[in-house]
Amino acid sequence: MVEFPIVDTHLHLWDPSHLRYPWLDGIPLLNKPYLLGDFDRTCGSIQVEKMVFVQCECAPEQYERETQWVTDLAGEDPRIEGLVSWAPLEKGEAVCPRLEHLARNPLVKGVRRIIQFEPDPDFCLRPAFIEGVRQLPRFGFSFDICIAHHHLANTIEFVRQCPEVSFILDHIGKPNIKEQVFEPWMTQIEDLARFPSVHCKLSGLVTEADMERWTPKDLKPYLDHVLSCFGVDRVMYGGDWPVAFQATTYPRWVETLCRALDGCSQSELRKVFRENAISFYRLNRGADEMKGRTPCQN
């Protein structure tokens, strides 16, 4: 187990009585409030010093309310030092006023517009979407890539067309761990990792495995491959709570990841569990972030 406070790059919080989350309707375990007090209870002995909230796919018209709600929560709990918001990037350059509004909030570090749920498998290659993503660097925003493994081929081409954007792959691209399928995921992860602008979250594996019967052995080949491709400088810890609660407790996930990283030095562990996250999401900078953001040029 890690012996220092960690940074969680993938925290979800929600209250279905406050905002609408349509995807929760079919998941009774998750379709209820999950708030900071619940998170603290689930952490057990794990010390989480900083957290990055990631948008929870509320109804699209409510995304600004979600961002404000989490900003208010951060006022109560300063451990929330970063926020990844939703934004309608498929609008192309017309999204700039929305991004400019988000950029006024120093907590907002990036945007996630989920690709996985789109019925069109070529959604991420639409010219307007690519143009919208290309606007992110002028506001100092990164982009969280949330896909399933069968989207990887298009994702590689998508990243190729956005050379100025800082990307992070959520949940190692959601391979089919339950059936222990490795290709073409392994080859495509290797290809994606060749882009130095792409980082990867060690998160979400347990919900891609057999959620009731998974073992660390099931996950290790996938973790080993990601570490081989990205190296310890471009991977970082993510808890994916409470989604991962369907398959694991919080301490068990941290312990599982520690076991997979057994050969790492203490300095390498600090990179994975702390330093890479602080650097990528530009934590600890507060209002100074605003100095690097420029308004939209129309």
Whole-angstrom CA distances from 66 to 19, 38, 44, 134 are 7, 18, 27, 24
Q: pLDDT tens for residues 8-63?
A: 999 999 999 999 999 999 999 999 999 999 999 999 999 999 999 999 999 999 99
Structure confidence at residue 285 as a pLDDT band (50, 70, 90)? low
Q: Residue 270 domain-assigned?
A: yes
At 297 the pLDDT is 42
Q: CATH number of the domain at 165, please.
A: 3.20.20.140
- Beta bridge partners, 48, equal 6
Inside any domain, residue 297: no
Residue 237 placed within a domain: yes
In a domain, 1, yes or no: no
What would the two tokens of residue 165 be? 């954007």
Tell me the residue range of the domain where 69 lies: 6-292
- Average pLDDT taken over every residue of the chain: 95
Q: For residues 110 and 67, is the Cβ–Cβ distance under 8 A?
A: no
Q: What is the pLDDT of residues 87-144, one digit of tens each?
A: 999 999 999 999 999 999 999 999 999 999 999 999 999 999 999 999 999 999 999 9
- Does 11 reside within a domain? yes
**Total structural domains within the chain:** 1
pLDDT at 1: 77
Q: Is residue 298, in this structure, part of any structural domain at all? A: no
Give per-residue pLDDT as tens, 88-98: 999 999 999 99
- Report how far apart, in Å, the C-alpha atoms of 92 and of each of 22, 104, 136, 146, 175 are: 25, 20, 11, 19, 29
Residue 206 near residue 247 (C-beta atoms within 8 A):
yes
Indicate the pTM of the whole model.
Answer: 0.94
State the average pLDDT over residues 172-196.
Answer: 98
Contact, 29 vs 245, CB < 8 A? yes
